[in-house]
Amino acid sequence: MDWQNLIYALVQVAHNFGAAAVVGGALFSLWPARQPAEIQRRLAWLVLTGWTVQGVSGGIFGAASYLFYGQLPDIHGIAIAALLIKIVCAIAGFLLAAAYLLRAADWDEDERRRAWRATFGLGATALGAAAFLRWFS
């Protein structure tokens, strides 16, 4: 058993499910039908958890590289830009989901819809950036 590969694979499992949670949660709140406020709130918890998992598992990727190779992954150019985009999306998405959970009770339906669209946009952007990070690393 290669423990190093096992650790990377398990972190990747968490990272993949986190990505599914943020993108899927935002999409389901909007399509195929608008969800009632109570369901939207539960989806906001799912999405907040998803962003948290992305940040933590992304950090563990870096920490594992440091532990196993004594340095962070050697990436340049497009890969760095893609990673920065993912980090910005994760931070903005986390703050938006937290704001939603704290404030959305006072928002009207249009404001909630805008928040979900922005969440979906951040998730889709991060997911797109992941492909560039993968293939330009």
Per CB under 6 A, residues contacting ligand HEM are 15-16, 19, 22-23, 54-55, 58, 61, 86-87, 89-90, 123, 126-127, 130-131, 133-134, 137
Q: What is the closest distance, in whole angstroms, from the C-beta atom of residue 36 to ligand HEM in the complex?
A: 25
Indicate the residue among 36 and 70 with the shorter CB distance to ligand HEM: 70
Position of tokens 């986390």?
Answer: 94
| Secondary structure class of 87 (helix, strand, coil) | helix
Q: Nearest residue by C-beta to ligand HEM? A: 58
Q: At what angle do helices 3-30 and 37-69 cross, to 10 degrees?
A: 160
Q: How far is the CB of 89 from ligand HEM (least distance, A)?
A: 5
Q: Least distance from C-beta 61 to ligand HEM, angstroms?
A: 4
**For residues 29 and 54, which CB has a smaller minimum distance to ligand HEM in the complex?**
54
Annotate 38-72 with three-state secondary structure.
HHHHHHHHHHHHHHHHHHHHHHHHHHHHHHHHCCC
Q: Which is nearer to ligand HEM, 30 or 107 (CB)?
A: 30
Q: How far is the CB of 125 from ligand HEM (least distance, A)?
A: 8
d(CA 115, CA 112): 5
Residue 85 sits at the vertex; the CA angle it makes with 18 and 22, to the nearest 5 degrees, is 25
